[in-house]
Amino acid sequence: MIYIYYLLVLGFLATAAIGLVASWIDRKVTARVQYRVGPPILQPLIDIVKLLGKETLIPAGSSKITFLAAPVLGFASVVVVSTLLWLNNINFNQSFLGDLIVVLYLLTLPSISIIIGGFASRNPLASIGASREMKLILAYELPFILAVLVPVIQSGFSIKLGEILNFQAQNGAIIGSLSGVLAFIVIAMCIQAKLALVPFDMAEAETELIGGPLVEYSGSGLAMYKLTKNMLLFVLPFFCMILLMGGFVFSGIHIFYGILKYIGLVALITVIRNTNPRVRIDQAVRFFWGPMTIIAIVAVILALNGL
Amino acid sequence: MSFKLKALLKSPWVFHLSTGSCNNCDIEILDCLTPRFDIERFGMLLVGSIKHADVLLVTGSVNRNCIPRIKDVYEQMPRPCLVVAIGECSLSRGMFIHSYNCPLPLDKVIPVDVYIPGCPPRPEAIIAGIVKLIGKVKKSITKK
């Protein structure tokens, strides 16, 4: 019973609320960087409510069930990931062995749902966007998993998020070490690519592919994709916090520190997004398989040597 | 129904369709997004795909080649939706009124909710037109 409570209240409601506020922060900071005023705080919520009330159009000749089921797949996986993360963060011993691997797999599913939806919608622009998204997954998964190995190695080869958090609670955050800093750089870049934000948004390029894989989606399907993306804006920095920065501690001054860590990560993502142009897909693959993989391998070697 | 429309008025996403205009009206529309006017304050966004849009902005004279395409785009827009005609050309064909290629004004092709005259209309005029549109929809909600 307690797990259903975690799933609904923390996994869905809290994550969605924090994610919507985070996406408002993102839009507001973007507006301020461009010397504009920016939208009011409830704007992301109003967008979702409006999209839920719109008509859902299904393109002629598309695969209807796949087209409608794809957004649900991504949304469900994000809810499960955030439930697992909250569970581990609240009580270190509540989870099962190997949940880190489950989280890594489930974090790929939102991108895969975008690919499925793009190919199911029978639109050439959506197909191009979906194929770019696929190449991007191939590009960033390698350095991401290598960087995730650093906290695993440092906490004595444990693949349980609770044990990684427990290790950090006793020995200080992993980002304090040299290999932790290198892993953080790689994970920050991979978060940017996983969120499909500006240096790596070639899959959804608004000006070039008019929305990419989402071009045929309208109404509730689009609302679900938007909500999934807003929730990922909370889940991915939270995952990074758990792996490298000791998670979110619910006691005294540490609550304040936790909020600061999260807002700092969101601000970092927004600043990267606002100060960079979009790169081509081949440049992105080269970037991730070249410098990022090398940095990640160096971090892993340093971690194996205890640095 | 009214709840849907209320949310729509708070975040109208705009799709911009140029049916062969001289680009002046298009530039004035883009002006509305600049720091000076910043219509994102009211939740308005320019979207690339008609399937995401709530408001269709039409600029330019409606010529023979464009008429089937305008109808196509209008039918692809998810309901509830609104149409705004911007500029003298789409309102009344402007200087092309005697042209063989412009048989109809826009409102004979698809239903139009608000007309914004001018050649080109200033960004202030466009924003005033959108305010009138929002007022009109609000009035229709209270009537129902």
pLDDT at A297 over 90: yes
> Do B41 and A39 make contact, defined as CB atoms within 8 angstroms?
yes
Q: Pick A50's closest partner by Cβ from B8, B41, B79.
A: B8
Domains of chain B: 2-143 (3.40.50.12280)
> Do B78 and A57 make contact, defined as CB atoms within 8 angstroms?
yes
Q: Is B7 on the interface with A (CB under 8 A)?
A: yes
Q: What is the pLDDT of residues B34-91, one digit of tens each?
A: 888 888 888 888 888 888 888 898 998 888 888 999 998 998 888 888 899 998 888 8
- Which residues of chain B lie closer than 8 angstroms to A211, CB-CB? 47-49, 52
Q: What is the structure's pLDDT at B64?
A: 87
> Do B40 and A57 make contact, defined as CB atoms within 8 angstroms?
no
ipTM, 2 dp: 0.85
Q: Pick A57's closest partner by Cβ from B7, B10, B51.
A: B51
Q: What are A278-283's contacts with CB under 8 Å, separation 24+?
A: A278/A198, A278/A199, A278/A200, A278/A201, A278/A202, A278/A205, A279/A199, A279/A200, A279/A202, A280/A202, A281/A132, A281/A135, A281/A136, A281/A202
Amino acid at B11: S
> Do B41 and A38 make contact, defined as CB atoms within 8 angstroms?
yes
pLDDT at A95 over 80: no
> Do A56 and B78 make contact, defined as CB atoms within 8 angstroms?
yes
Question: Which comes out higher in pLDDT, residue A54 or B2?
Answer: A54
> Which of A36, A67, A123 is most worth mutating to test chain B (most B CB atoms within 10 A of its CB)?
A36
What are A128's two structure tokens?
A: 């191009």
pLDDT band at B144 (very low <50, low <70, confident <90, very high): low
State which residue of chain A sits closest to B4, comparing Cα positions.
A53
- Which residues of chain B lie closer than 8 angstroms to A216, CB-CB? 49, 51
What are A62's two structure tokens?
A: 């598309």
Element (H, E) at B127: helix B123-143
State which residue of chain A sits closest to B54, comparing Cα positions.
A54
pTM of the full structure? 0.89
Residue A43 to chain B, least CA–CA distance (Å)? 6
Residue A130 to chain B, least CA–CA distance (Å)? 16
> Do B48 and A55 make contact, defined as CB atoms within 8 angstroms?
no
> Do B48 and A56 make contact, defined as CB atoms within 8 angstroms?
no
Distance CA A205, CA A185 (A): 24
Alpha-helical (H) ranges within chain A are 2-5, 15-33, 43-53, 64-90, 99-120, 124-154, 161-171, 178-194, 206-209, 220-244, 253-274, 281-287, 293-304
State which residue of chain B sits closest to A37, comparing Cα positions.
B41
The residue with tokens 């994610």 is A19
Output DSSP code: residue A155. Answer: T
- Which residues of chain A lie closer than 8 angstroms to B127, CB-CB? none
- Total number of residues shown for chain A: 307
pLDDT at A228 over 80: yes
Element (H, E) at B6: helix B2-10
3-state DSSP assignment of residue A59: coil
Residue B96 to chain A, least CA–CA distance (Å)? 31
**Integer-rounded Cα radius of gyration of chain B:** 15
pLDDT at A110 over 60: yes
Q: Judge if the upstream peptide bond of residue B80 is cis by omega within 30 degrees of 0.
A: yes
> Do B40 and A39 make contact, defined as CB atoms within 8 angstroms?
yes
Question: Which comes out higher in pLDDT, residue A11 or A31?
Answer: A31
pLDDT at A7 over 80: no
Q: What is the structure's pLDDT at A172?
A: 79
Distance CA A223, CA A250 (A): 32
Q: What is the structure's pLDDT at A185?
A: 92
pLDDT at B2 over 80: no
What are A283's two structure tokens?
A: 């440049």
pLDDT band at B1 (very low <50, low <70, confident <90, very high): low
- Which residues of chain B lie closer than 8 angstroms to A218, CB-CB? 51-52, 78
Q: Pick B78's closest partner by Cβ from A34, A38, A54.
A: A54
Distance CA A184, CA A148 (A): 9
Q: What is the structure's pLDDT at A163?
A: 84
Q: Pick B40's closest partner by Cβ from A31, A35, A55.
A: A31
Distance CA A262, CA A85 (A): 14
Alpha carbon of A137 to those of A105, A141, A288: distances in Å? 12, 6, 10
3-state DSSP assignment of residue B17: strand
Task: Label the pairing between strands B55-59 and B45-46.
Answer: unpaired
How much is the mean pLDDT over chain A? 87
